[in-house]
Amino acid sequence: MGSARVLVCGVVSAVVLGLMGVPAVADTPVSTSLPSGFAPGKSTVVARTADSTVYANPDGTQTSNLSNVPVNYAAADGSWQPIDSSLQADPARAGGLRSAANSWRAHFGTTAQGVSVDTSAGSLGIVPVNAKTEAPVTSATGDGVTYADAWPGADLTYRVTSSAVKESVLIKSPSAGNSFTFSVLSGSVASVLSDTAAAAPGWSRDVDGSLVPTGALSSAVQIEAPRVLRADGEPMEAAHAKLSVAGGKLTLSVDPAWLAAQPASAFPINLDPSITPTPSVSHSYKTDGFNCTNCGIQFGNARDGGDTLWRSVAHFGYEGLFGDEILGAQFNTGWQGGTQNAYGVRVFWASAYSFAGAAGHPAVLATGTPGGTTGTISGTALTAQIQSWADSRVSGGAFGFVGTETAGLYTYQTYSMNLAVTYNLPPSTPAGVGFKAAAPSTPACTGGTIDGTQASSWKSVLGAPSARNLYGTFQWWDTASPSAVHTAKSGTFPTGSNNALAWVVSWGPNTFANGHNYAFKVEAYDGWKAGPWSGNCSFHVTDPVATSPTQPGFGPANPGLACGSTVRGDQNIVLEATIKAATAQSQVRAQFTVSYTVNGTAYPKIYTTPYVAYQAAGSLAQVTIAANTPASGNYSIPNGTVFTWSVVAQTQSDNTSSAPTSCGGVTSSGQVPAPQLASTALASDGSGNGVVGTNASVTLTDTSPDVTEYVWSYQQVLPAPLPTACPTVPSNNWAGVGLACSSDGPDDSGNDWNVIQVDPPRTSFSLTVWAIDSTGTVSPATTVNYVVTDIGDGEVTHLWQTDSTSLTAAATSVADAADPDNDLPLSITANSPATNLSWVGGGAPWQTSPGSGGSALHFDGTAGYAATSSPGVPQDTRDNQWDSSDDFTAQVWVRPTTTSTSTPQVAIGQDGSYFSGFWLGLQSGSWTFCMPHTQNQSGAYDGDCATLPAGTSYQNQWALLTAVWDASGGKMILYVATGLSSSPLTTPSVATATITHTISAPATESFTVGRGETAGVNSGFWTGDLEDPTTFTGVMSSNSVLTTATTGPYNPNNQ
């Protein structure tokens, strides 16, 4: 708790309030002189605090008048109001007085009623004991009362200050006595005023000797330890003033011996306690060790029993000036005691609350010679020190006051003071920060979204409380990169005084990136200091996206072609679409992405157009895929490629893309060259004749890499439309369409190759070939004619043609149609009964219409057969012998009429010396072709047989049996063609069996039809029909077998 103020005279006791408002005005008026800028009558109050009053000056500065005691109080409505310590009539007590305005109130009644102090925590009342009843008399200053001769020889006076009720007992003579007693009451305001239900409080004593009531009032009031003051106001510690408590009463006293020893000139003597609020922060220190608090600012030589020096340390609440620009400062003084001579005083930055600490920092901040009633103390260093504290935000700095300390010279002075500071406020926090209206969709500080393609503006109002020129700074950043801060600064705004300036910053289109979030803030700077930053504003950028391209297709190089069309791969391909920017401020381009796959490898390609400005109707965007080097067939997109492409519209400012528009097509050269035929001649026997049974290779070539398929036909053109599913169409169809498909793609030379194997057992035919690319484009046809000349002994050696109208049932031989001279007829040994020929009604299997007639040899399986007089298979022309180097082919049409084949049934063969050199027929349900290794006369057969199962339905069914001996290959081949019918025409099936046979025995005797030979005896008689037995030189291919099975026996008259 705090201590009381020093009074000027007598013995004083004061009641001081605590924690009830703001520090008060000085007890004695101080100088009204204030630093430059303050203009009396023109500067106006703009703010108050408990210990300061702030004025706005005409030049734009402000002045704060700081006190170390309260000067304002908090009114019931929360506003700060000036403290008024004057007295006025008390409506609660007739003839009484009360204080005018403060956070607490003092009441003064008669001496019998006493004095009370009301606080928000309750009321404390004191009543002098054994005092004469006197009414209060108002002092000349209007803020105090006097009870004259309240006790004999002693007056009782009170004075109200901003922070205390000062009580003084003025001892006018020693006869007044050395002690004075007061009864004390506490309770509610009403109870103390009416003296009902009030009770004496309990007390506790503070370390400084002051008394604090217990209970609710402990935080509101205290009674400070009393002091004895000399007539000049200096405390007299030798009087040993005391404050004691007994029986609910307070007693003020001084040392009776000291009082008795005082000369008459020492009177009147003041006995001074105080009732006060929480302590202020002014402390006075004396060289003899005595100190007091809230005793005023004391300094100088008191000459009390010699040279005794006073110094003071006080704090003034400058903390409200943090951040301000300090322009000037001075102390204003009001004399309270001591000499009024103009002695010098110095002010220091105190290093401690002590006598020495008052000048602890040696630099002098301010000087003055106040003297008189009022005065000033000032200095530029004082202004600088306050500026330093304000800049560094240092709280609690105190000033030390040191007077004139000349030895032997009385210079003691006591002053009340305030500190007047004139300053500039820094710029205020900018107001109204955000987007200028109509720029974004939401012109607010936060949460807005803007179109980055449009211009935008930010606004703010810069506050300029000082008269300085003003500058503004915007900072902005992408929130994803907050360390990359961008700055926009204003020019100079001449403010005048207290102007609020609107500042707008404008940004051009495409300053801010689409899809990004940004923040910005603003501050004002007055050339000395920047004000606080505004809060952050934020916004998001969402640019309009260009619409998807329209009207995709292929451009002028392929006019009129829509998506999905076939385009010329050997020419430039132009892709096109219409694009349109999202806004008139945007520019847009097209990006085409082309995709295709060749040989399993994907090839994406990207083409872009230049940016174009907005066009209401859109802009045509085109890119060209160059054909590269079409002459060599190296196209950018290979012919026959199915490709797709998509196009997007890209906005230049942010590179955003529209949704894609898709298209595609197929490449084609548009002209597939006709295939070229090479090796068109048939194999020859050396005399220019085609050799039946020898493959004639036809090689198809072309010069286009686009060809993926060849289509070919014998003897007739292809029907329309062309078939495209090559594998499903039978090949080598002599009566219809034959197809052969290329299995090769373009090779390194740019040529496709396809080989067709031809075995034409006829005198002439034509071959027509077309080339087709993957788009279905068909080349012109290439047709070649093949002519087979007259057939001689080098191919068909013998043909015994049973299907002849010259034969009858009684015929005994069949002529060799392959030899016009008929040198080797086939003689018939009759059946029993003798029926040599069987007429086949309804058409032969090779005939296309029934009823055309035909005949075959018929045998009954008992004894009938036919044979020649010499060998029928080829012989070595060098020795007329058949040896292992002689290839041959033997062929016959058969129709068995029995299924009993447990023993061989020989259709054709050739006798050897002991066994058939070969035989062809049926055995044990299988078609069989056998050749011996040797003509072993011991009776055991040693040879090889090629067999094919005959199945279960071969009886009465025609089949074509072909036996091939490939001597050079060391193998025997059996071909069986089945599935023959007269109508409608069907393609037969050919089965093949091949076995190894490296050694073959000579067989140089008769060629037989319908039997074989075993151990030199005829055997294996055939049951059924046999037709057109034929022998050939060389090895017949399966294609020739199929051709014979399809077209029928060879007709030598068809030249």
For 657, the 3-state DSSP assignment is: strand
The pLDDT, as a whole number, for residue 872 is: 86
pLDDT at 904 over 80: yes
What are 143's two structure tokens?
């803020």
* 194 CB-near residues (< 8 Å, 6+ apart): none
318: confidence class by pLDDT, cuts 50, 70, 90:
very high
The pLDDT, as a whole number, for residue 150 is: 93
pTM beyond cutoff 0.75: no
Among positive and negative, which fits the CA dihedral 491, 492, 495, 498?
A: positive
More confident residue, 839 or 599: 599
Rounded to an integer, what is the distance from CA 766 to the centroid of its chain? 70
Chain segment 796-816, per-residue pLDDT in tens: 788 888 866 566 667 788 888
**Range scoring the smallest mean pLDDT among 129-138, 593-602, 844-853, 960-969:** 844-853
The pLDDT, as a whole number, for residue 756 is: 34
Peptide bond into 730 cis (omega under 30): no
Q: Check: CB of residue 331 under 8 Å from CB of residue 368.
A: yes
The pLDDT, as a whole number, for residue 1048 is: 63
Would you give the DSSP letter of residue 264?
G
If 0-12 CB within 10 Å is exposed, 13-18 middle and 19+ buried, where does residue 319 land? middle
Q: Which residues pair with 541 in a beta bridge?
A: 450
The pLDDT, as a whole number, for residue 236 is: 79
pLDDT at 598 over 90: no
If 0-12 CB within 10 Å is exposed, 13-18 middle and 19+ buried, where does residue 40 land? exposed
In three-state form (DSSP H/G/I as H, E/B as E, the rest C), the secondary structure along 183-246 is EEEEECHHHHHHCCCCECCCEEECCCCCEEECHHHHHCEEECCCEEECCCCCECHHHCCEEEEE
* 277 CB-near residues (< 8 Å, 6+ apart): 2, 16, 17, 18, 19, 20, 21, 70, 163, 164, 220, 221
Rounded to an integer, what is the distance from CA 833 to the centroid of its chain? 104
pLDDT at 23 over 80: no
58: confidence class by pLDDT, cuts 50, 70, 90:
confident
**Range scoring the smallest mean pLDDT among 13-17, 185-189, 682-686:** 13-17
Q: What are the CA-CA distances from residue 482 to residues 518, 543, 573, 685 (Å)?
A: 9, 22, 49, 96
Helix (H) or strand (E) holding 86: strand 84-89
Q: Check: CB of residue 291 under 8 Å from CB of residue 210.
A: no
Peptide bond into 235 cis (omega under 30): no
The pLDDT, as a whole number, for residue 683 is: 41
pLDDT at 760 over 80: no
Helix (H) or strand (E) holding 1043: helix 1038-1047
Please state the rounded mean pLDDT for residues 852-868: 80
Please state the rounded mean pLDDT for residues 230-253: 82
Query: Strand 537-541 and strand 448-450: pairing?
Result: parallel
pLDDT at 629 over 70: no
The pLDDT, as a whole number, for residue 807 is: 67
Question: How many residues would you count in the chain?
Answer: 1055
**Cα gap 345→299, rounded to integer Å:** 8
* % of residues, the chain, pLDDT over 70: 74
Chain segment 1016-1034, per-residue pLDDT in tens: 899 999 998 888 899 888 7
* 129 CB-near residues (< 8 Å, 6+ apart): 181, 182, 183, 249
Nearest to 1010 by CA among 803, 831, 787, 771: 831
Q: Check: CB of residue 68 under 8 Å from CB of residue 163.
A: no
CB count within 10 Å of CB 5 equals 32
Q: What are the CA-CA distances from residue 305 to residues 236, 265, 301, 302 (Å)?
A: 11, 16, 11, 9
The pLDDT, as a whole number, for residue 558 is: 60
The pLDDT, as a whole number, for residue 738 is: 37
More confident residue, 833 or 692: 833
**Cα gap 446→683, rounded to integer Å:** 95
The pLDDT, as a whole number, for residue 41 is: 84
Please state the rounded mean pLDDT for residues 222-226: 82
* 477 CB-near residues (< 8 Å, 6+ apart): 483, 484, 485, 486, 518, 519, 520
Across the chain, mean pLDDT equals 77
* % of residues, the chain, pLDDT over 90: 27
**Radius of gyration of the chain from its Cα atoms, rounded to whole angstroms:** 69
**Range scoring the smallest mean pLDDT among 311-325, 362-376, 927-941:** 927-941
The pLDDT, as a whole number, for residue 544 is: 84
883: confidence class by pLDDT, cuts 50, 70, 90:
low
Among 184-193, 627-636, 868-877, top mean pLDDT goes to 184-193
More confident residue, 714 or 568: 568
In order of their start, the domains of the chain are 11-21+85-275 (no CATH), 284-424 (no CATH), 431-506+516-526 (no CATH), 550-666 (2.60.40.10), 676-787 (2.60.40), 796-1045 (2.60.120.200)
The pLDDT, as a whole number, for residue 688 is: 37
pLDDT at 918 over 90: yes
**Cα gap 915→144, rounded to integer Å:** 171
Q: What are the CA-CA distances from residue 925 to residues 539, 858, 865, 898 (Å)?
A: 97, 20, 21, 11
If 0-12 CB within 10 Å is exposed, 13-18 middle and 19+ buried, where does residue 405 land? middle
